[in-house]
Structure 1
């Protein structure tokens, strides 16, 4: 929340102070100052930001919570407004390389809380049959010419360090749509430096498989993805943007 100028609700506004603060906070949620899905700053920060007491902030948050505009768990409160959050410039979109270049392609993504494939568990250092967050992604054109599927398993480290990922455990029913486009941005914001290693192999006569392993600056595994692409009809393209030096 970069804006630091004092907030002064109109004198004619007869709502209680906490209602006015809730409206101001809602404006910031809607204009993207606090992106959808992001954790809200703490009560102390919000109190200083709006120049009110923490009790007033607490009442404003409760008002928004009752309206279904924010949700609160053990890690704090976060916005639940619909919309596409703004990603950090240069951060790859998750799952990297899984989206077809065809604009007519339709994608579907869900998450489950389950034991990952054995090879994933081994790569992530998970005990056999220990459940974790598993993301499944499918992108296909209406005529079936372009098909890509990806299965990603996240490590215990990723779920412990990245609050935005951990929150998905509560909705990991395998049916609710769960786009994690900003997963790598969330990891970076959590202070993790990401190292990607991709291995490409032939899946079968018409498809190729990309196995991606991502770890942090301490060599701790964060996620492993198996991406399968129809090699005969589609091209696998990786695009990176690197900021200029200085």
Structure 2
């Protein structure tokens, strides 16, 4: 994106400039430039991007807010358009075990809550005993009940402090509302965190199930997320794909 000096260009189509900017911004939101639920660039950045003043950007955002297309909280403005977020096909899907491709025969449910995590989670994330945190629960099963996957994730204090998109969920983490965090790893990377994950796969005794635990930490060895997944051990239950960068 080329950097320009913000100034209000004259308009010739009869509509106020801020409405034209609102229309252009809405177009970018709809084409996935900023996926639903994710934070928009600040007013200064938008002013530079569109070549107008910050006041014009502020008026354009107010138009979109009145129409319910943008919401603003203490962390900034974010798109509220309906529809699934745009995804990079090479990105790592959250949580471990989630289906990369939607299965119309599967029944998926994901919720978030603010509660005290299990002791194993707290220890892995360096949380004090009985300290609550953001927890995510994912469950998926075929219509016939087979292929059941249950994942429980706890996030660390570091993850909530560094990743705004995750922190935003605290106020609505009532354990009932649907909460798709499929882009959680993309949010972490965009926050400047390099992700390292360690997965341990253990067959469960006397059952056809497999347990997978994942611990994710950043480039400073700070824990970010711990997930405990139990999945029916069907032949195609777990598929791991890795993309390695070429040597420079």
State TM-score, norm by structure 2. Answer: 0.89
Partner of 1:53: 53
Partner of 2:82: 82
Question: Structure 1 CA distance, aligned partners of 2:32 and 2:89?
Answer: 15
Given that 1:64 and 1:70 are in contact with CA atoms closer than 8 Å, whether structure 2 keeps it comes out as yes
Q: What's the CA shift for 1:9?
A: 8.5
Given that 1:109 and 1:138 are in contact with CA atoms closer than 8 Å, whether structure 2 keeps it comes out as yes
1:212-227 alignment, distance < 5 Å: 212-227=214-229
Partner of 2:98: 98
Secondary structure of the 1:121 match is helix
Q: What's the CA shift for 1:3?
A: 7.3
Partner of 1:210: 212
Question: Structure 2 CA distance, aligned partners of 1:126 and 1:84?
Answer: 32
Partner of 1:120: 121
1:144 aligned to 2:133? Answer: no
Residues 134-186 of structure 1 deviation map (CA, whole Å, 9 limit, x = unaligned): 00001100001211110000001001111111111122121211111111111
Partner of 2:36: 36
Secondary structure of the 2:60 match is helix
Q: CA 1:47–1:53 in 2, change beyond 3 Å: closer, same or farther? A: same
Question: Structure 2 CA distance, aligned partners of 1:233 and 1:34?
Answer: 37
RMSD, aligned CA: 2.3
Partner of 2:242: 240
1:175-214 alignment, distance < 5 Å: 175-204=176-205, 205-214=207-216
List runs of 5+ in structure 1 lacking aligned partners: none
Question: Structure 2 CA distance, aligned partners of 1:115 and 1:54?
Answer: 42
Q: CA 1:59–1:140 in 2, change beyond 3 Å: closer, same or farther? A: same
Secondary structure of the 1:159 match is helix
State TM-score, norm by structure 1. Answer: 0.90
Q: CA 1:230–1:157 in 2, change beyond 3 Å: closer, same or farther? A: same
Q: CA 1:189–1:101 in 2, change beyond 3 Å: closer, same or farther? A: closer
The number of residue pairs the alignment matches comes to 244
Question: Structure 1 CA distance, aligned partners of 2:12 and 2:100?
Answer: 53
Secondary structure of the 2:46 match is helix
Given that 1:98 and 1:149 are in contact with CA atoms closer than 8 Å, whether structure 2 keeps it comes out as no
1:108 aligned to 2:140? Answer: no
List runs of 5+ in structure 2 lacking aligned partners: none
Given that 2:9 and 2:52 are in contact with CA atoms closer than 8 Å, whether structure 1 keeps it comes out as no
Question: Structure 2 CA distance, aligned partners of 1:245 and 1:203?
Answer: 39
Secondary structure of the 1:109 match is strand
Q: CA 1:109–1:102 in 2, change beyond 3 Å: closer, same or farther? A: closer
Partner of 2:67: 67
Question: Structure 1 CA distance, aligned partners of 2:101 and 2:45?
Answer: 42
Q: CA 1:90–1:100 in 2, change beyond 3 Å: closer, same or farther? A: closer
Secondary structure of the 2:140 match is strand
